[in-house]
Chain A
Amino acid sequence: MKRFKVLFGQRRFQALITIAAVLLAASVVAASGANFTSTSANASNTFTAGNLHHVNSNDGAAILTVEKMKPGDTQSGTVTITNDGDLDGAFTIAESITGDQAGSGEAGGSGHISDVLQLTVTDTTTGLPVYSGLLKDMGTVAAGTIVAGAAHTYDFTVTFPDSGANGADNSYKKSAVTAQFDWVEAQ
Chain B
Amino acid sequence: MRPASSKGWVVKGLLTLGVLAVLALTLDSLVFSDASFTAGSSAVATVTAGDLRHLNDHDGLLLIDASDLVPGDVRSGTMSLTGLGDLSGRYALAADGLAEAPGSPRLSDALDLVVTDEAEGTTLYEGPVSSFSGVDLGMLGPGDTRSYSVTLSYPDGAADLRLQDASLTLTLRVAGVAS
> Interface on A for B, CB 8 Å cutoff?
50-56, 58-71, 75, 77, 79, 81, 85, 87, 89, 98-99, 103-105, 113, 117, 135, 156, 158, 160, 172-187
Contact A173 B42 (CB under 8 A): no
Most buried by A among B42, B44, B52: B44
Known interface pairs A68-B87, A172-B49, A173-B52; A180-B44 also in contact (CB < 8 Å)? yes
For the complex formed, measure the closest distance between the CB of B60 and the CB atoms of chain A, giving whole angstroms. 15
Partner of B40, one of A99, A105, A178, A185: A185
B37 is an interface residue with CB less than 8 A from chain A = yes
Contact A56 B85 (CB under 8 A): no
Which residues of chain A are near B85, meaning CB under 8 Å? 173
Compute the total of residue contacts between A and B using a CB distance below 8 Å: 132
Which residues of chain A are near B47, meaning CB under 8 Å? 64, 66, 69, 75, 113, 117, 135, 158, 160, 176-178
Q: Taking CB as reference atom, which chain A residue is nearest B142?
A: A68
Contact A61 B50 (CB under 8 A): no
Contact B39 A70 (CB under 8 A): no
Contact A187 B52 (CB under 8 A): no
Kindly state the separation between the CA atoms of A104 and B47 in the bound complex, as whole angstroms. 15
B36 is an interface residue with CB less than 8 A from chain A = yes
For the complex formed, measure the closest distance between the CB of B71 and the CB atoms of chain A, giving whole angstroms. 39
Contact B49 A113 (CB under 8 A): yes
Known interface pairs A52-B37, A68-B86, A187-B37; A181-B42 also in contact (CB < 8 Å)? yes
Known interface pairs A70-B178, A174-B48; A60-B42 also in contact (CB < 8 Å)? yes
Which residues of chain A are near B44, meaning CB under 8 Å? 61-63, 98, 178-181
Partner of B36, one of A156, A160, A186: A186
B118 is an interface residue with CB less than 8 A from chain A = no
Partner of B37, one of A50, A59, A182: A50
Contact A182 B40 (CB under 8 A): yes
State which residues 76-110 of B face A: CB under 8 Å.
85-87
**Sample (29) of A-B pairs whose CB atoms are under 8 Å apart:** A50-B37, A52-B38, A56-B43, A62-B45, A66-B45, A67-B48, A68-B49, A70-B50, A70-B87, A70-B178, A85-B39, A87-B37, A113-B47, A117-B47, A135-B45, A160-B47, A172-B49, A173-B51, A173-B52, A175-B49, A176-B46, A176-B49, A177-B46, A177-B47, A178-B44, A180-B43, A183-B43, A184-B40, A185-B40
Partner of A186, one of B37, B45, B52, B179: B37
Partner of B50, one of A51, A54, A64, A67: A67
Contact B39 A89 (CB under 8 A): yes
